[in-house]
Amino acid sequence: MSSTGLGQKIRDLAKDKKALILAHNYQPKEIQDIADVCGDSLELAKIAKDNSAEVIVFCGVYFMAEAAAILSPQKKVILPDLSAGCPLADSIQVEDLFSLKKRYPRAKVVTYINSTATLKAVSDVICTSSNAIQIVNKLEGDEIIFLPDKNLASFVQRFTNKKIIPWKGFCPTHENFTLDKALEVKRKYPEAVLIVHPECRFEVVDQATEALSTGQMTNFVKGLKTKEVIVGTESDMINQLQIVAPHLNYLPAANNFICPDMKKISLEKLYQALKNLSPIVTVDFEIAKRAKRALDQMLLLSKKK
Ligand code: SF4
């Protein structure tokens, strides 16, 4: 069957099963094209919660489906491939956090949304790449254990006087974009603006015109006059940028700016998942309750002036 034929079958099946298909901005283009909504992980988890659909098919990685399940415990959250994980989220265990807490007993724990439900459950507050600075600055106390991304931690440290105690985790996809590669692409396209995600290395962020979350990138390009934009994040983000600002020319910052886990979701797996309403992602009730508290704390702090 052609991928277009399969795409139509998926749409029909989604209608039959009253399912909502959500796709992360880093999903393969053919998945983004047939999804009901594309967005970042928090945006999608909130949509899953507010939508009346009983079945949510989450095209993304495991921690994202978990976040949707935490916010919508009464819904069926399906991840078409359970092996789609995130090395950043898996870089830390709760025991590692307990050791850090022993060393820094006064510190508050801020955990990036790219983390397991178990880690969220033992954190004070969750953050995203767009609100991390705001959350850290609004939180009481002057010592912050920031998990699990060392690059986002050092990005936040630039904008706060608080002491940031980072974990050593990183996203291999963003870490792969080295300073040499950043300098090379800038040399090749001297007129272009370079936008990067704060999960990039510290020295790469230094070379960028702006360091932005994926949501902030979407807003940034809308008002941009410059013709060429080098995109320093997962290459499939470019699909979303093309939709909001088609007048610009987007260049992937590197050839291999690809998250292999995001690419585990295919049209065929999505079709099978919808047909069988499986595999389902669930989160233990107690863990979900505590993780939700940390997520709610984030929503509260990001509203406060
Ligand atoms: Fe995890 Fe990086 Fe892939 Fe995002 S791009 S899911 S942080 S490995």
Topology alike, domains 89-170+287-301 and 173-258:
yes
Displacement of CA 251 from its chain's centroid (Å): 21
CB contact at 8 A, 282 and 258: no
Predicted local confidence at residue 175, as pLDDT: 98
CB contact at 8 A, 126 and 112: yes
What are the strands of the beta sheet with 55-59, ordered from one edge? Answer: 37-39, 19-24, 55-59, 76-78
Nearest-CA residue for ligand 1 atom 3 is: 259
The CA 268 to ligand 1 mean position distance, Å, reads 22
Is 88 a pocket residue for ligand 1 (Cβ < 6 Å)? Answer: yes
- Report the distance separating Cα 291 and Cα 235, nearest Å: 30
**Top-level CATH class of 89-170+287-301?**
alpha beta
Domain assignments of the chain as residue spans, ordered by start: 3-85+262-283, 89-170+287-301, 173-258
CB contact at 8 A, 69 and 288: yes
CATH of 173-258, one of 3.40.50.150, 1.10.15.40, 3.30.540.10, 3.40.50.10800: 3.40.50.10800
User: Which positions of the chain have pLDDT values less than 70?
Assistant: 1-3, 304-305
The CA 253 to ligand 1 mean position distance, Å, reads 16
The CATH number given to 3-85+262-283 is 3.40.50.10800
Atom of ligand 1 nearest to the CA of 86: 1
Predicted local confidence at residue 132, as pLDDT: 96
Predicted local confidence at residue 248, as pLDDT: 97
Predicted local confidence at residue 282, as pLDDT: 97
The CA 264 to ligand 1 mean position distance, Å, reads 12
